[in-house]
Structure 1
Amino acid sequence: MAKIALGTSREATQPDCIKALVVEFITTFLFVFAGVGSAMAADKLAGGALLGLFAVAVAHALVVAVMISAGRISGGHLNPAVTLGLLVGGHITVFRSVLYWIDQLLASSVACILLKYLTGGLGTPVHTLAAGVGYLQGVVWEIVLTFSLLFTVYATIVDPKKGSIDGLGPLLTGFVVGANILAGGAFSGASMNPARSFGPALVSGDWTDHWVYWVGPLIGGALAGFIYENFFIVRSHHPIPTEEESY
């Protein structure tokens, strides 16, 4: 059974933590900038809804793969749900998780503010439930999609026995993000990421259905981290404690 490490406030002054927070900010900023930017471009240019959804899915898949790789110092979480899933699995302390969450939300907000400015005031598309999709359905969609994302992260990046897929984790994680957007984008929006939903909502001032994109992803991420860590990973010792931990 994985144990959750609380950590201490001293982590905030440790060089490795400061460096990780800077990298996490940069990679989350670039992820949201490309992801939201692709959605804005799809709204402006796409000839059909399916084409627009495909463009958004491909953009997210590519930027997730690259930013996870680029963010190896911080672990390239990009996502409060990923951080929570790794926290539940014992790979990051509670204190550092809170720092990461603040960092991710701030990066998302700055990215969306910049996008609004660079596009001459275009709206930042927010995640909302499609017509006919209820709150419970939306939450379940986000739970399942985020569970899929975190399960992939654990299987391809965290698990020490990755076998032949070792090194392909970021790319495979990007693929599952793209696939999930194609599957759920037309229904729940397929956020899988509270930070990705937070920036556009803040900049646009539209908080419609916003709570769904916290509840669903956080439950899905925590469940995946708990299940994979406690039932599928075999360790001779516990992975963590206080020093820098990435995936």
Structure 2
Amino acid sequence: MAIAFGRFDDSFSLGSIKAYLAEFISTFLFVFAGVGSAIAYGKLTHDAALDPAGLVAVAICHGFALFVAVSIGANISGGHVNPAVTFGLAIGGQITILTGIFYWIAQLVGAIVASFLLKFVTGGMTTPTHTLAAGVGAIEGVVMEIIITFALVYTVYATAADPKKGSLGTIAPIAIGFIVGANILAAGPFSGGSMNPARSFGPAVASGDFRDNWIYWVGPLVGGGLAGLIYPNVFMHSEHAPLANEF
């Protein structure tokens, strides 16, 4: 698998522009629902801190929202909804670097717009941001995000990007939503379970709180990049067809 930079004419074609718009819309809907679920739980319980029931509710909401966001974008942009997924696919040669940069812009703008609109429609309620839990150091947080994002991007490759996926591709959005929900349940009490730089960056911009935000860039990008190196090079090798005169 080779990393390709891409051409500007391809990146500004009508199809590419539609793909960027699809990424903006999908990421907007995902972040609006995901961050909105955390805000709503805090309002209903009069407590900004999530308890076990809140963790489950937020994990389910993120899983459902991502399932929908991936599904509605799959036939247009591939339904990345996540700069770490885009980066992992670029490392594996599934998307060009140039197109990936525009995907990033669309995803980040979608997340920022969703976060500011949430702040407006909730009457200025506090926008929750991803931060490390008490007792969790920066290194532990980065490693946690690397592991769970690797699981996410590896799942994307196995169910959506691998040419051998066959009928498994029909459940790719479900599998992707499930792994995100499961990872939030596992990592939420420690690193917050982001797996998505856009999901963390949008609320940080809306709240003006960038504390620990770098962790949600470094961890997911490293995890996504590792999946982009391992899956295509180990499991997606192409083999030549037998020659006509071979016995």
- TM-score, with structure 1 as normaliser: 0.93
Q: Distance in 2 between matches of 1:110 and 1:166?
A: 31
Deviation, structure 1 residue 228: 0.2
The answer to whether structure 1 residue 223 and structure 2 residue 226 are counterparts is: yes
* 2:36 paired residue number: 37
Q: Distance in 2 between matches of 1:122 and 1:9?
A: 42
Deviation, structure 1 residue 43: 1.8
* 1:181 paired residue number: 184
Matches within 5 A, 1:229-240: 229-236=232-239
* 1:244 paired residue number: none
List per-residue Cα deviations over 1:201-244 (Å, max 9, x = no partner).
0010011111000000000000001100000113358xxxxxxx
* 1:25 paired residue number: 24
Structure 1: unaligned runs, 5 residues or longer? 238-247
* 1:4 paired residue number: 3
* 1:15 paired residue number: 14
Task: Write the letter of the residue equivalent to 2:164.
Answer: K
Q: Distance in 1 between matches of 2:128 and 2:238?
A: 43
Matches within 5 A, 1:154-169: 154-163=157-166, 165-169=168-172
Deviation, structure 1 residue 90: 0.4
RMSD: 1.3
* 2:87 paired residue number: 84
Matches within 5 A, 1:47-126: 49-72=51-74, 73-126=76-129
List per-residue Cα deviations over 1:165-197 (Å, max 9, x = no partner).
231010011000000000000000000000000
Task: Write the letter of the residue equivalent to 2:12.
Answer: T
Percent of matched pairs sharing the same residue: 58
Matches within 5 A, 1:188-203: 188-203=191-206
* 2:213 paired residue number: 210
Q: Distance in 2 between matches of 1:158 and 1:228?
A: 10
Deviation, structure 1 residue 116: 0.3
Q: Distance in 1 between matches of 2:42 and 2:160?
A: 34
Structure 2: unaligned runs, 5 residues or longer? 241-247
Number of paired residues? 236
List per-residue Cα deviations over 1:98-148 (Å, max 9, x = no partner).
101111111100000000000000111000000000000000000000000
* 1:147 paired residue number: 150
RCO (CA 8 Å, sep 6+): is it higher in 1 or 2? 1
* 1:243 paired residue number: none
Deviation, structure 1 residue 11: 2.7
* 2:245 paired residue number: none
- TM-score, with structure 2 as normaliser: 0.93
Q: Distance in 2 between matches of 1:22 and 1:210?
A: 25
Q: Distance in 1 between matches of 2:70 and 2:238?
A: 24
Q: Distance in 1 between matches of 2:208 and 2:141?
A: 21
Deviation, structure 1 residue 163: 4.5
